[in-house]
Amino acid sequence: MLKAVRGTRDLLPPETALWNFVEAAVRDVFRAYNFHEIRTPIFEETQLFSRAVGEETDVVSKEMYTWEDRTRAESEKGQSLTLRPENTAGVVRAYIEHKLWDRGLNKLYYIGPQFRRERPQKGRYRQFYQIGAEMLGPATAGSESPARDAEILELLATLLDRLGIENWTLELNSIGCANDRAKYNEALRKALEPVAAKMCADCQRRAVTNPLRVFDCKVPEDQPIIEELPRISQYLDEPCRKHFEQVQEILNAVGVAVHVNDRLVRGLDYYTRTAFEFTHGALGAQNAILGGGRYDGLSEMLGGPSAPGIGFAIGEDRLVLALKENAEAVQPKPDVYIAPLGAGMDREAARLARELRRHDLIAELGDETFRLKKSFEVASKLGARFILIVGENEVKAGAFALKNLESGEQVSVARAELARKIQAGH
RNA sequence: GUGGGAGUAGCUCAACUGGCAGAGCAUCGGACUGUGGCUCCGACGGUUGCGGGUUCGAUUCCCGUCUCCCACCCCA
């Protein structure tokens, strides 16, 4: 049997109703913050990602779907293309390509699939969906201001509350600028040298390859050692330190609770200063429901002008997972089930369906070969509020039997009154 | 990529130490010829994930493989 390939899946009703609910709410929130939608291609030149995300990151070095494009002319060299593993790089590429700096501060959001070739598990898929936003532009447009960071974080808090997601935690840190991080990395490496031998195998490896990752360690025995390690906060230069402080002050002023976590590090190369994650219990090991941060140097890394920015990506799959814990989304139910009764009645039923649907009612059209009992059963199963019987008697009389399936009340209603009567039944 | 668990009807799951593949729900039909939900009766439904091996005989044991789940790595 043919199956969806590993790590991909079909989203079926009624679950799609939940996805639509999420996306509608998200668009609504973005609207209030004056964000506008951007849609970038689902695949890009490979080098966009290797340069932006970082050649050495796991995402680029082992998780990308990359292929060489077919060439039409021999003179053309096959281009290396990649399914996007994230969307920030594409947005910044578009920013540069279309010279969006002319517009001042850009506030863009996207919703769409991303692709990473990882081992699937709960909340992790090879085709997964991200809802993200980016605020970027010339520094003169205010893009570098801590107010932008706070605005993004406050938006996210609003969004999660709006969706009815409870028990989220905002983990916040500053990882400084590239300069700070280089100094810090060196200090960390030095501090780890004498103690690494006493740590777990993973940490011994990290101490060499990626010292920052030591902070992700969950082995209890290692914790006392980790506690003693120098923190990035001690290595922030004055502007970075002040920036971080101001972000927290604004969040405090607007009443968004923050958990400063100086062990929070982010994986992609382009992040600077503010780094954050919103976590949620009951998601299993993949407890980060969204993540993001500032990327002040990214535009320049891609050959563009200076364009400080900050953004985030929500794992929509994980968001939906968290939402399922609380409320079961209700798929819209038919307002009325139209039951044609007997041969030739389907024409009149179709006319009525057309009319009622034009009144913005959800109408399900039955089948004239069904016995009335079966029509009732189907209507009940669909959760229709009304059933409308279209039989010979009704057509002759010019009035139709309309039964409220919840109350059991049945009345005879003239054609012209049908839509109003059904709407009133809400 | 690494380690562990699981795959049996559309769904949720049984099947002792290797011995006729089952139940509930769902679906369809009937009880009930223009009135649903409840109840009762009946029917349909299977390459036991796939491929090989051991055996008189494999859902069961062995090997391989695929997929999902859990954890690691990493990330959303």
pLDDT digits (tens, 9 = 90+) for A46-86: 999 999 998 888 899 889 999 988 876 666 677 899 999 99
Nucleotide nearest to A213 (CA to C1'): B74
Tell whether the torsion through CA atoms of A255, A259, A262 and A266 is positive or negative. Answer: negative
A357 and A305 within one domain: no
Range of the domain at A420: 336-424
A299 and A350 within one domain: no
A377 and A241 within one domain: no
Instruction: With respect to residue A205, please indicate whether it lies within any of the assigned structural domains.
Output: no
Q: Which residue is nearest to nucleotide B28 (CA to C1')?
A: A374
Locate the DSSP E strands across A46-185: 66-68, 80-83, 106-115, 127-136, 168-174
Provide the pLDDT for residue A186.
86
A249 and A382 within one domain: no
Give me the torsion for CA of A24, A28, A30, A34, rounded to 10°. Answer: 140
pLDDT tens for chain A, 426 residues long, are 778 889 999 888 888 888 999 999 999 999 999 999 999 999 999 999 999 998 888 899 889 999 988 876 666 677 899 999 999 999 999 999 999 999 999 999 999 999 999 999 888 999 999 999 999 999 999 999 999 999 999 999 999 999 988 889 999 999 998 888 888 888 888 888 888 888 877 778 778 777 887 887 777 777 888 888 888 888 999 999 999 999 999 999 999 999 999 888 776 778 899 999 999 876 777 788 999 999 999 999 999 999 999 999 999 999 998 887 665 667 888 999 999 998 899 999 999 999 999 999 999 999 998 889 999 999 999 999 999 999 999 999 999 999 999 899 999 999 999 999 999 876
Q: Which of A202, A196, A228 is nearest to A216 (CA)?
A: A202
Neighbours of A344 (CB within 10 A): 10
Cα(A294)–Cα(A258) distance, rounded to whole angstroms? Answer: 17
Counting the structural domains of chain A, the total is: 2
Which nucleotides of chain B does any protein CB come within 7 A of? 1-3, 27-30, 32-37, 66-76
Protein CA at A372 to nucleotide C1' at B67, angstroms? 44
Which CATH number belongs to the domain containing residue A405 in this structure? 3.40.50.800
